[in-house]
A and B are shown apart, each in its own frame.
Chain A
Amino acid sequence: MPPSELPPDDQLAGLLLAGDEAAFAQVVDAWSPGMVRLARVYVSTEDSAAEVVQEAWLAVVRGIATFAGRSSLRTWVYRIVANTAQRRGGREARSVPASSLGAGDGGGDAQGPTVDPARFAPPGHPHAGHWQRPPSPWPEQALLAAEVRAQVAAAVAGLPARQRVVITLRDVHGYDSDEVCSILEISAANQRVLLHRARAAVRSCLERYLADGEEAS
């Protein structure tokens, strides 16, 4: 069920507060798949992610009266998912340290250029700083293939945690930057740096994959 069919936020919160079960079933169906995907960013198995979502929904049910409307309802719910998943992730091997998402704008995963410097003419060269090996166009059809989606999903899974969660929320779920800052409680600048690095890394994986495909055929 597409989220567009949901009633507007203030109305929805009112319906949930009033105990409207049909409205609750509607948001559960609309948001749960995205919540599972978000939870999966922090925890190592699908089962774990499903449990996180269950736990988060129960927290929503218990806490709906405390929803103050300062953020959108969806943002509020997603923040509960992120916090719940982060706590659980902390107990698992694939943990995202609780401090890492909100920590400063730097961090080990936010240094250096996002494109291999060898792709550009070196300093001292007449065209220093310009492409020496520019990108090659991608075959449009290839981008529609299921294997390409699988490659991109694998590239996202391989990203540092903070980049993974930001690109998942922004580009996979289609949240805007304000919502993502709100869900993760990070600054706009931090959000943008993480998104930038994540997109550059995924583009580069896709480029490698599509270039290998050409050589192979």
Chain B
Amino acid sequence: MTESLNDPVDHLACTELVELVTAFLEGDLDPATERRVVDHISLCDGCELYVDQVRQTTDVLAGLSGGAPLSPADRDRLLAAFRDSSA
């Protein structure tokens, strides 16, 4: 398809941008698409906020880490098994 003079830039729709967010954040986009995404975000408040909220979501997810440590009994059994195996 050829581009008309009135439409020199191949604009992304917001519907397309929201599907590229992860690839964009992962740095997996080809340079041309990455530029279109950056250009779009710089002009579109909705998409800028959307990308930001995906980042905020990953921040909250990172705060979930931790998890339960082993019970002392389980830990002792493992250390004993390790001792036996290398004896």
The verdict on A196 contacting chain B, using a C-beta distance below 8 Å, is: yes
Name the residue on A nearest B87 (C-beta).
A19
Q: Chain B nearest CB: distance from A127 CB in Å?
A: 9
Task: Give CA–CA (A28, B69) in the complex, Å.
Answer: 9
**Contact between chains at A129 and B15 (CB < 8 Å):** yes
Instruction: State how many residues of chain B have any CB contact under 8 Å with chain A.
Output: 46
**Chain B residues with Cβ under 8 A from A134's Cβ?**
45-46, 49-50
Task: Give CA–CA (A53, B71) in the complex, Å.
Answer: 11
B32-87 residues at the A interface, CB under 8 angstroms: 44-47, 49-50, 53-54, 56-71, 74-75, 77-79, 81-83, 85-87
Name the residue on B nearest A193 (C-beta).
B22
The verdict on A173 contacting chain B, using a C-beta distance below 8 Å, is: yes
Beyond A24-B78, A54-B74, 4 extra complex contacts between A and B, CB < 8 Å = A32-B70, A54-B78, A61-B78, A192-B26
**Chain A residues with Cβ under 8 A from B56's Cβ?**
138, 143
Name the residue on B nearest A129 (C-beta).
B13
The verdict on A105 contacting chain B, using a C-beta distance below 8 Å, is: no
**Contact between chains at B15 and A206 (CB < 8 Å):** no
**Chain A residues with Cβ under 8 A from B16's Cβ?**
129
**Contact between chains at B57 and A24 (CB < 8 Å):** no
Task: For B70, give its contact among A28, A129, A136 (CB under 8 Å).
Answer: A28
**Contact between chains at B58 and A199 (CB < 8 Å):** yes
Task: Give CA–CA (A25, B65) in the complex, Å.
Answer: 20
Q: Can you show 15 pairs from A to B with CB atoms below 8 A apart? A: A24-B82, A29-B70, A32-B75, A34-B65, A53-B74, A113-B18, A129-B13, A130-B44, A131-B44, A135-B53, A143-B59, A143-B60, A174-B62, A200-B18, A203-B54
A118-165 residues at the B interface, CB under 8 angstroms: 120, 128-131, 134-138, 143, 148-149, 152-153, 156
**Contact between chains at B71 and A196 (CB < 8 Å):** no
**Chain A residues with Cβ under 8 A from B19's Cβ?**
113-114, 196
Which residues of A approach B to under 8 Å, CB–CB? 18-19, 21, 24-25, 28-29, 32-37, 40, 46, 50, 53-54, 57-58, 61-62, 113-115, 117, 120, 128-131, 134-138, 143, 148-149, 152-153, 156, 167, 171-174, 177, 192, 195-196, 199-200, 202-203, 206-207
Q: Chain B nearest CB: distance from A205 CB in Å?
A: 9
**Contact between chains at A199 and B22 (CB < 8 Å):** yes
Q: Chain B nearest CB: distance from A62 CB in Å?
A: 7
**Contact between chains at B15 and A21 (CB < 8 Å):** no
**Contact between chains at A135 and B78 (CB < 8 Å):** no
**Contact between chains at B70 and A172 (CB < 8 Å):** no
Task: For B61, give its contact among A25, A35, A130, A167 (CB under 8 Å).
Answer: A167
Task: For A135, give its contact among B50, B59, B70, B75 (CB under 8 Å).
Answer: B50
Task: Give CA–CA (A139, B78) in the complex, Å.
Answer: 45
Task: Give CA–CA (A153, B67) in the complex, Å.
Answer: 12
Q: Chain A nearest CB: distance from B69 CB in Å?
A: 5
